[in-house]
């Protein structure tokens, strides 16, 4: 393989784009060669803040996609722009890292998936908590059979009152650009539920409401999921009201229970009394600098270099997105939705 670094282009000069750039700069096999954003001053500012003195700067993302020096496109733009940008990048033969959500509806997702499959490029979708040290520890506990099979799980994303909302708040609250509570944030909790239950979802039921009107979409939604192995799960997502950012994880099995950073297990009987606690860093802040982007980027780059699927490629992400779309449909229609959802 060539020793030349893989050229990276980043679309969308968002908060999260900075974390992508820093992670590519840490990877020895990549070089950020192009940035694209609608505001030329913002593009220049981002380039300067990351010491990208020779980077190409575009105000039209199409020019970045067509730049022959770009082999990887990181899509960090507003939610409604992801589909056309990802489709164009894949058709141009670029490997794509797409921030969540890939799309705001099932049809859009399938357009992106089809373009990636047809072109044969690698893909990664921005569920970076797969690389959270806390998540990795929980997976080791599951692998060690501390809980037995996970029969019931809860993963919640709550964030209604934060001292400083992230920079995209002004657009994410709109239906056109943000989409929904799950698209804006709660899909991370759906993905976590899938990770820990380790089975395919077969049915979804949800209720949603908009109690405060701070968002154009329903800012509160509860999603219940039935899995093929008989397990059941719940995802709560509340993006309104007086609640600080909280990402709850509760796992129950015949042998034990996990509640965030506390657990019980029959494996530790008879000496364990009450709850055991393990000091850790919980995913309890919306500040993206806290999130494990280097692991996500490194896995993506290694997938490209060794011609293997990335951990959260478009096919894996499809399963999380389908639960999200099924939940939204269930809340609208008041009935359970069977998975997989029918293709048009």
Whole-number mean pLDDT of the chain?
95
Give pLDDT, residue 284.
Answer: 79
Tokens coding 76: 């960090």
Q: What is the pLDDT of residues 252-267, one digit of tens each?
A: 999 999 999 999 999 9
| Coil, strand or helix at 60 | coil
pTM of the model: 0.95
Helix (H) or strand (E) holding 238, with range, is strand 232-238
Q: What is the pLDDT of residues 194-208, one digit of tens each?
A: 999 999 999 999 999
Number of domains in the chain: 2
| 182 and 75 in a common domain | no
| 148 and 116 in a common domain | no
| 254 and 199 in a common domain | yes
Better pLDDT: 13 or 167: 13
Rounded mean pLDDT, 10-14 = 96
| 88 and 65 in a common domain | yes
Give pLDDT, residue 287.
Answer: 59
User: Nearest to residue 222, comparing CAs of 183, 174, 186, 272?
Assistant: 186
317 found inside a domain: no
Alpha carbons 331 and 340: distance in angstroms, whole number:
17
Alpha carbons 341 and 228: distance in angstroms, whole number:
15
Give pLDDT, residue 286.
Answer: 62
Residues of the chain above pLDDT 90, percent: 89
Give pLDDT, residue 169.
Answer: 79
Confidence class for position 344, pLDDT limits 50, 70, 90:
low
| 60 and 112 in a common domain | yes
CA–CA distances in Å: residue 14 to residues 35, 125, 166, 169, 326: 11, 16, 10, 11, 28
**What is the residue whose two structure tokens read 């700067």?**
57
344 found inside a domain: no
pLDDT over 60 (residue 251): yes
152 found inside a domain: yes
User: Nearest to residue 218, comparing CAs of 232, 208, 204?
Assistant: 208
| 302 and 240 in a common domain | no
| 216 and 169 in a common domain | yes
CATH number at residue 163: 3.30.360.10
pLDDT over 70 (residue 10): yes
343 found inside a domain: no
Note down the domain range covering 303.
Answer: 6-128+292-312
| 257 and 142 in a common domain | yes
| 101 and 143 in a common domain | no
Report whether 330 contacts 204 (CB < 8 A).
yes
| 329 and 220 in a common domain | yes
| 133 and 33 in a common domain | no
57 found inside a domain: yes
| 117 and 43 in a common domain | yes
Q: What is the pLDDT of residues 83-112, one digit of tens each?
A: 999 999 999 999 999 999 999 999 999 999
Give pLDDT, residue 102.
Answer: 98
């Amino acid at each position: 393989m060539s020793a030349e670094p893989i050229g990276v282009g980043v679309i969308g000069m968002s908060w999260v784009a900075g974390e992508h750039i820093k992670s590519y700069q840490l990877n020895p096999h990549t070089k950020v060669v192009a940035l694209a954003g609608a505001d030329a001053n913002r593009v220049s500012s981002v380039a300067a803040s990351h010491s990208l003195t020779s980077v190409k700067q575009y105000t039209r993302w199409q020019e970045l996609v067509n730049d022959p020096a770009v082999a990887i496109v990181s899509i960090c733009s507003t939610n409604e722009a992801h589909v056309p940008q990802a489709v164009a990048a894949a058709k141009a033969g670029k490997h794509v890292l797409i921030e969540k959500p890939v799309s705001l509806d099932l049809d859009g997702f399938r357009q992106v998936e089809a373009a990636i499959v047809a072109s044969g490029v690698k893909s990664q979708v921005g569920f970076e908590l797969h690389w959270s040290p806390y998540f990795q520890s929980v997976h080791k506990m599951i692998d060690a059979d501390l809980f037995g099979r996970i029969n019931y799980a809860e993963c919640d994303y709550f964030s209604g009152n934060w001292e400083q909302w992230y920079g995209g708040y002004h657009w994410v609250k709109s239906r056109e650009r943000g989409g929904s509570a799950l698209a804006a944030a709660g899909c991370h909790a759906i993905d976590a539920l899938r990770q820990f239950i380790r089975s395919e979802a077969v049915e979804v039921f949800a209720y949603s409401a908009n109690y405060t009107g701070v968002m154009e979409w329903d800012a509160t939604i509860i999603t219940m999921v039935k899995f093929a192995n008989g397990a059941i799960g719940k995802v709560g997502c509340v993006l309104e009201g007086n609640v600080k950012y909280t990402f709850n994880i509760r796992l129950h099995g015949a042998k034990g229970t996990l509640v965030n950073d506390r657990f019980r297990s029959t494996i530790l009987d008879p000496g364990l009394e009450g709850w055991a606690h393990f000091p850790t860093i919980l995913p309890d802040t919306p500040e993206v600098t806290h999130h494990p982007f280097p692991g996500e980027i490194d896995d993506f780059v290694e997938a490209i270099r060794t011609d293997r699927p990335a951990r959260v490629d478009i096919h894996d992400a499809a399963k999380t997105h389908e639960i999200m779309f099924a939940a939204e449909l269930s809340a609208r229609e008041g009935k359970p939705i069977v998975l997989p959802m029918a293709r048009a």
